[in-house]
Structure 1
Amino acid sequence: MKIHVTGANGLLAKYVIDACKIFGTVDGTDVDTMDITNFENVLSHLKNNTPDVIVHLAALQGRTASRENPSKFFTVNVSGTLNLMEACRQLGIKKFVLMSSLTVHGKSEIPVDENSPILPLHPYGASKAAAELVVRSYSKSFGIHAFIMRPNYISGKIYDSYKENIIYNFVDNIETNGLVELAGDGRFQREWVHASDIAEAIKLALLSEIDGCETFILSETENRISMMELTNKIIKLAGKGRIATKPEIEGFSLISSNKKAKEMLNWKPKVGIDEIIEEVFNGYRENHQR
């Protein structure tokens, strides 16, 4: 089996490429080698070495950046996905994995599942929701078997290029300013999932005999933590730092249920929140001591 991974220079890709090597040949492209917003470029590249599966990780990310340039986010995240799906249709590629985002659901104090309302709060979340519809429509219309993955907050080996990672930003604030400012009272919650566990879910999906188009939330309820708790863990590791709350700024929770992925894929995330935080913290210090 040949697998093609888009966004090959991103945080998640190295984990996915390693996990998928059991299937055979795995190659990858990034913006420098295949511009997903250019259909002719996409078609030409994939035609030269037609894969059996496309794992689509390439995307613009971040709520703040998406508010600054929403048009660019929709061009890359929606039109780029459309170009890949159309190439699949024309070339007869019958399996596709889309890396979406739990942010399509907006905010929720109760665990969202795959059937919860789609209510994105920013252009990034909206662009991912639209990309999901593109994939679902091509799957239904043209018989392309598709997996839509909605991860919660992803972590892994983080470097300076991944500024949207909350843990990285909190570590950076503590190391440089000794202060983290939290919205509201800091009690709102998030869940983290390690990139290696997401890669494992993709591998399990490709090993399965699931047809049609299925959506899976990828998160770890045991890694649910408030922003206050998260910051205190980083402060303990750093041996310094303080917290300031900003009651005038609304904070909100986004938590989820991973029941479907556990039951249908037999997915069992392994990396806990303490290990996730320590990896980012240690990686930050290693990177800034060079």
Structure 2
Amino acid sequence: MNKVLVTGADGFIGSHLVEYLLGRGYSVRAMVLYNAFNSWGWLDALPPALRDAIEVVAGDVRDSRSVREALRGCDTVFHLAALIAIPYSYLAPASYIDTNVLGTLNVLEAARELGVRVVHTSTSEVYGSAQRVPIDEDHPLQAQSPYAASKIGADQLALSYYRSFDLPVAVIRPFNTYGPRQSARAFIPTVIGQIAAGAREVRLGAVSPTRDLNYVLDTVRGFEAVARCDAALGQVINIGSNFEISVGDTAQLIAEVMGVEIELVCDEARLRPAASEVERLWADNRRAHELTGWQPDYAGVDGLRRGLALTAAWFRDPANLARYKVDRYNL
């Protein structure tokens, strides 16, 4: 890979991926969502020297022409652009089809025309509540939200282009990623933000579901490993820690890391519809290791504690915390 495009580069994982790839010596073009404020999202938070090294293009994956122009001259595209908030998908499902499915179609068509390798981003949400654990890539898919349904559609579309047109496509399926710059709609920054703002009664939705939590540096290393692996083409590859922990236990671990005692309070506004809640996620990451050599550096409870400490330290910086509305529930 010489020159790469990252769609969704203005987001949480996308901005970390851009930062990581620059550090690895890649020439990076970053596609950000066009807006009237000329904001590059989280890329604006990078040090000036890094920002100067990025070729930023503003556009929209829903527009086929802007996608084609963004891909022109690139060897590989990391396709991360998506709507990802599960609660908002209950309110605006059509927008998830437009962005996640049709946007992916535009990326695949442009990549096919221009001869660009595609690393398509999936999500562990496509598995739904685990029917067996750990969850391997052959686990049945079950959409328990419009968001998950849109991602299943996008994943299958990407794989169809590999099978139908021999397009070099790999599907990377990260489990729950956390770290600095994550949206407050996710539960880890919600807990950290409330504690950092002085709250000791922490408001959450369901605390019994379990998740496989991955520090963002492990996730972005997985993206590079999959992109560089020819054996990954046509494959779905889990990126997870192979460690399961409940939402409630994670919140208490965050409190321990931050040196406080908290009480968890159920906020009904944060609860998913009962049949939509994914109760259990736990990744089988053997395929990632066997094909690419990737393995997590922040695995197990000790690794999670280290990752949470790094994340909490970032949020405790007043300049960073000020970017969040910690007193409000974010869809």
Summarize the alignment of residues 262-277 of structure 1 with structure 2, pairs less than 5 Å apart: 262-271=289-298, 272-277=303-308
Q: 1:227 aligns with which of 247, 258, 270?
A: 247
Q: Which residue among 80, 96, 116 is the counterpart of 2:103?
A: 80
Name 1:202's counterpart in structure 2. Answer: 223
| Corresponding position: 1:180 with 2:202 | yes
Q: For residue 102 of structure 1, what is the aligned residue in structure 2?
A: 124
TM-score with structure 1 setting the length: 0.89
CA-atom RMSD in angstroms: 2.4
Matched residue, 1:120? 143
Aligned with 1:264: secondary structure? helix
Correspondences of 1:1-290 after superposition (within 5 Å): 1-21=2-22, 22=24, 24-32=26-34, 33-47=58-72, 50-93=73-116, 95-108=117-130, 110-158=133-181, 162-174=183-195, 175=197, 177-181=199-203, 186-210=207-231, 212-222=233-243, 224-236=244-256, 237-244=258-265, 252-271=279-298, 272-286=303-317, 287-288=320-321
- 1:209, distance to aligned residue in structure 2 (A): 2.6
- Once the two structures are TM-superposed, the CA of residue 165 in structure 1 deviates from its matched residue by 1.9
Question: Do the aligned partners of residues 262 and 212 (structure 1) sit closer, same or farther apart at CA in structure 2, a change above 3 Å counting?
Answer: closer
Residue 116 of structure 1, CA deviation: 0.5
User: Which range moved further: 241-250 or 143-152?
Assistant: 241-250
Larger relative strand fraction: 1
| Alpha carbons 2:232, 2:291 under 8 Å: kept | no
Q: Distance in 2 between matches of 1:219 and 1:255?
A: 8
Contact 1:235 1:242 in 2 (8 A): no
Structure scoring higher RCO (CA < 8 A, sep ≥ 6) equals 1
| CA apart distance, 1:132 | 0.5
User: Which residue identity lines up with residue 277 of structure 1 in the other structure?
Assistant: L
Displacement of 1:171: 2.1
Asked whether the equivalents of residues 5 and 30 of structure 2 are also in contact (C-alpha less than 8 Å), the reply is yes
Identify which range, 125-134 or 208-217, moves more after superposition: 208-217
* Residues 146 and 212, structure 1, Cα contact 8 Å, conserved in 2: yes
Distance 1:211 1:63, change over 3 A: closer
Contiguous gaps of at least 5 residues in structure 1? none
Alignment: residue pair count: 283
What secondary structure does 2:231 align onto? Answer: coil
Moved more, 203-212 or 27-36: 203-212
Structure 2 regions of 5+ residues with no counterpart?
35-57, 324-331
Aligned-residue identity in percent: 24
Aligned equivalents of 2:218, 2:119: Cα separation in 1: 15
2 CA distance for matches of 1:123 and 1:86?
24
Partner Cα separation in structure 1 for residue 30 and residue 130 of structure 2: 35
Distance 1:182 1:288 in 2: 19
Letter in 1 for 2:14: A
CA contact (8 A) 1:145 1:211 kept: no
- Alpha-carbon offset, residue 23 of structure 1: 6.2
Confirm or deny: 8 A CA contact 2:59 2:67 kept in the other structure: yes
The DSSP-based 3-state class of the residue aligned with 2:213 is: strand
- How far off is 1:82 after superposition? 0.2
- 1:207 to partner: Cα distance: 2.3
CA–CA distance in 2 between the matches of 1:27 and 1:105?
32
SS of 2:83's equivalent in the other structure is coil
